[in-house]
Structure 1
Amino acid sequence: MRAVKLVIEYDGTSYCGWQLQPNGITIQQVIEEALAKMLGQAVRLHSSGRTDAGVHALGMVASFKTAKELPLRAYSDGLNCLLPPDIAIREAAEVPLSFNPRADAIGKHYRYTIYNAKRRSPLMRLTSWHLRGELDVGQMREAASYFVGEHDFAAFRASNCVAKTTVRRLFAVSVAKEGDSVIIDVHGSGFLKNMVRVIAGTLAAVGQGKLDAGAIPGLLAGGDRAASGITAPPQGLCLMEVFYRPFISR
């Protein structure tokens, strides 16, 4: 028996998110079906987390166990031949049988992209949130700094989030202007449901002058979801990377 770790890139536009569900096609379902074709048996993928419908990934991590002794390139180059154009395996590596993509993760990097221009962009419509009025990036940077550290993010999660605790630690939150795009990068040890999208919506409100940058500490302390910004649309969000401590593959 061996365990194989996959690093997966996908455009989530056409899918009902990562996780298997009865009412629509998901990323997990498509990859599991491709693996079943390759291996001649059903395979269950275990992931580092989940992404919602329309959300993208550059570095989703998942793993599975198999008794087949195929070369690793079969799980990258070979598997990619069985996957649709909007899903690809970027890397495949053998890992210890004890590897758990979710429990072993020590951090994640998410990126949210806002397209900040007068006119819409057909090329950006599936990977960004279009906001027309010019955003005050300086104020957004100031607001972003208040999110860094360990806080109760109850005011920055989905109403149906079932996490047992709403305390999370963010290592860095940055805001950068790149041409017509405003890029929000969030690094943290863990995230609540829709947390990055609510942070992005709140930072956008600051950039639009609807909310003071200095209001963020009060929002964190108050825990009132209704007081923070809207949940930014899913298409602007991308899971960039999942971080793990080094280990030695056999």
Structure 2
Amino acid sequence: MPRYKLILEYDGSAFVGWQRQMNGPSVQAAVEAAISRFAGHPVTVIGAGRTDAGVHAAGQVAHVDLNRPWSTATIRAATNFHLKPAAVAVLAAAEAASAFHARFSASARMYRYRILNRAAPPVLDRGRVWWLPKPLDTDAMAAAARLLVGRHDFSAFRAALCQARSPVKTLDALAVRRVGDEIWLEVRARSFLHNQVRIIAGTLREVGEGRVVPERVAAALASGRRDLAGPTAPASGLCLMEVRYPQPDGEPASVQPAGDRADDQAHDDIEDDDADRHKA
């Protein structure tokens, strides 16, 4: 069976999350139904990140096996046709090796958390940002963020129901930058604990408002106590921007489907290397 990789974009507010569930519409189920309609047989679509309800994606990567070869242009066009009016789209499709696995082959995932930091509430970006009208100190937030980079026990920064076997994760990068009225928190790692990115965002918010000093973040990290970290930020501000995979030479790179580079662009994922779940 030929395997194909897909790059997907979706508005997470319309779904209960990536994973197929009984209690509402999921991105996975919508994409599977759309592909099954034109392929003529049931399919299973595997995503790189199992984003939570309300979490968006600009560069989710998935793979699917089909019973016969299809052109990548047809896969993209036909899937998008059958997805309408769902708030999800296939940006690109490419042939993939049989050994390629959207989740297990990934070397890095990058999420962006958007904070709208202005007096006026969001209108055009409602449901896509966390509105915080009180001015935030981005220098203090950046100082606190630097304390979280590297390999640590992130017990203080995971959900109570997190199923990861180990709380130890490695954050390759965590940047804080102001872009106009917004503050972007951009984090990159191979995998994340459940709600890890959103708890980091909630903690950095407290630092930015002056409620706690950056050193308090290091203390929370060292303690392993969830109550010493900040609250879990809303899902609406989080977006999976990019997923990276190793190239043959071993260097990680963004997925670049042939013929669709212009369309290319990484939940809150239970990103856990050991458990069969993925949320940030």
Unaligned runs of 5+ in 1: none
For residues 190 and 137 of structure 1, what CA distance do their matches in structure 2 show? 25
- For 2:218, the equivalent position in structure 1 comes to 217
- For 1:39, the equivalent position in structure 2 comes to 39
The letter of the residue matching 1:96 is A
- For 2:229, the equivalent position in structure 1 comes to 228
1:83-102 CA-partner distances (Å, limit 9, x unpaired):
13521111111111121111
Q: 1:22 Cα shift?
A: 0.6
Any conservation in 2 of the 1:115–1:124 contact (CA below 8 Å)?
no
For residues 190 and 55 of structure 2, what CA distance do their matches in structure 1 show? 19
Any conservation in 1 of the 2:35–2:78 contact (CA below 8 Å)?
no
Within 5 A, what are the aligned runs for 1:89-168?
Answer: 89-168=90-169
The letter of the residue matching 1:226 is D
For residues 149 and 191 of structure 1, what CA distance do their matches in structure 2 show? 13
- For 2:72, the equivalent position in structure 1 comes to 72
- For 2:48, the equivalent position in structure 1 comes to 48
Any conservation in 2 of the 1:129–1:235 contact (CA below 8 Å)?
yes
Q: 1:67 Cα shift?
A: 2.0
1:54-86 CA-partner distances (Å, limit 9, x unpaired):
100011111111122211111212211221352
Determine if the alignment matches structure 1 residue 181 to structure 2 residue 163.
no
Name the count of aligned residue pairs.
249
1:139-179 CA-partner distances (Å, limit 9, x unpaired):
00100111110011111111110100011111111111111
The letter of the residue matching 2:240 is L
The letter of the residue matching 1:168 is K
- For 1:28, the equivalent position in structure 2 comes to 28
For residues 166 and 84 of structure 1, what CA distance do their matches in structure 2 show? 39
Unaligned runs of 5+ in 2: 250-256, 258-280
Identity of aligned residues (%): 41
Q: TM-score, normalised by structure 1?
A: 0.97
Q: 1:247 Cα shift?
A: 4.8
1:105 is paired with a residue whose SS is coil
For residues 27 and 168 of structure 1, what CA distance do their matches in structure 2 show? 27
Q: Which moved more, 1:86-95 or 1:195-204?
A: 86-95
For residues 37 and 209 of structure 1, what CA distance do their matches in structure 2 show? 53
Q: Which moved more, 1:199-208 or 1:97-106?
A: 97-106
Q: Which moved more, 1:214-223 or 1:149-158?
A: 214-223
For residues 88 and 143 of structure 2, what CA distance do their matches in structure 1 show? 36
- For 1:200, the equivalent position in structure 2 comes to 201
- For 2:88, the equivalent position in structure 1 comes to 87
Cα RMSD (Å): 1.3
Over 3 Å off, 4+ runs: none
Q: Which moved more, 1:172-181 or 1:67-76?
A: 67-76
Q: 1:127 Cα shift?
A: 0.6
1:99-119 CA-partner distances (Å, limit 9, x unpaired):
111111111100000001112
Question: Does the C-alpha gap of structure 1 residues 196 and 141 become closer, same or farther in structure 2, counting only changes over 3 Å?
Answer: same
Question: Does the C-alpha gap of structure 1 residues 83 and 247 become closer, same or farther in structure 2, counting only changes over 3 Å?
Answer: farther
1:227-246 CA-partner distances (Å, limit 9, x unpaired):
10110000000000011012
Q: TM-score, normalised by structure 2?
A: 0.86
The letter of the residue matching 1:125 is R
- For 1:61, the equivalent position in structure 2 comes to 61
